[in-house]
A and B are shown apart, each in its own frame.
Chain A
Amino acid sequence: GESVGLHLPTLSVQEGDNSIINCAYSNSASDYFIWYKQESGKGPQFIIDIRSNMDKRQGQRVTVLLNKTVKHLSLQIAATQPGDSAVYFCAERQRRVQGAQKLVFGQGTRLTINP
């Protein structure tokens, strides 16, 4: 079935270190990928996106890498800060479902920052 999975459910890093969150996706037809951050009591918040015709995209302190050969996506956060503590989801956009746009989310990785 459809799924976007994650290699690790939890990740603990030291403040100031770089974090790498990984994600495996299953649908090779997906054309667009997004990373979301979800803090406790809040909805998912957009971090960064990447189209399937790209292999890397950089934002402020974040970089997303896409490897279509092995259907793998990663989110790199530079100089991790306490405010980065959250659950991170990757999501893939599948082709139209009856005209609609549908995102398939992974289970999520909880990122914890140690002082």
Chain B
Amino acid sequence: ETGVTQSPTHLIKTRGQQVTLRCSSQSGHNTVSWYQQALGQGPQFIFQYYREEENGRGNFPPRFSGLQFPNYSSELNVNALELDDSALYLCASSSKPGHLFSGANVLTFGAGSRLTVL
């Protein structure tokens, strides 16, 4: 059983550019959530994807967008990058989208993509 894999692991962009981060969910998981983790902080929920549609969103502007593909993998896109977007972006997969996850269905996190915006 493979875990959650993310790419790239590190990248550097300049302000105003666009970035795409990729995530492959754990085998058997059909739901993907994205979190932003600033340095020294806990992860913050960006959004969740289920059945290729956005299934809920946190307090992030529209320039943060995503996609989920039929194989359940996902992308996070951020347009018009700002300095404050520098963070670790975590992808997490689960087998259920709703409020039923617990125990074996908990979120499984990837190692993250470290984005630095200069």
Contact = CB atoms under 8 A, between A and B. Distances in A.
A105 interface: yes
Interface string B56-87: 11100000000000000000000000000000
Interface size class of A (residues with CB under 8 A): 20 to 34
A42 B111 contact: yes
Contacts, number: 81
B112 A43 contact: yes
Interface residues of B, number: 33
Contact of B55 (A41, A95, A99, A108): A99
Interface string A90-115: 01010111111111111110000000
Contact of B42 (A91, A100, A102): A91
B102 A106 contact: no
Nearest to B44: A105
B111 A43 contact: yes
A99 B56 contact: yes
A108 B99 contact: no
Interface string B10-54: 000000000000000000000001010000111111011010000
B56 A101 contact: yes
A51 interface: yes
Interface of B: 4, 33, 35, 40-45, 47-48, 50, 55-58, 90, 92, 94, 96-99, 101-103, 106-112
27 contacts: A32-B102, A43-B90, A43-B112, A44-B43, A44-B90, A46-B107, A51-B102, A93-B99, A95-B99, A96-B99, A99-B55, A99-B97, A100-B47, A100-B57, A100-B97, A101-B33, A101-B56, A101-B98, A101-B99, A102-B48, A102-B56, A102-B58, A103-B43, A103-B45, A105-B44, A108-B40, A108-B42
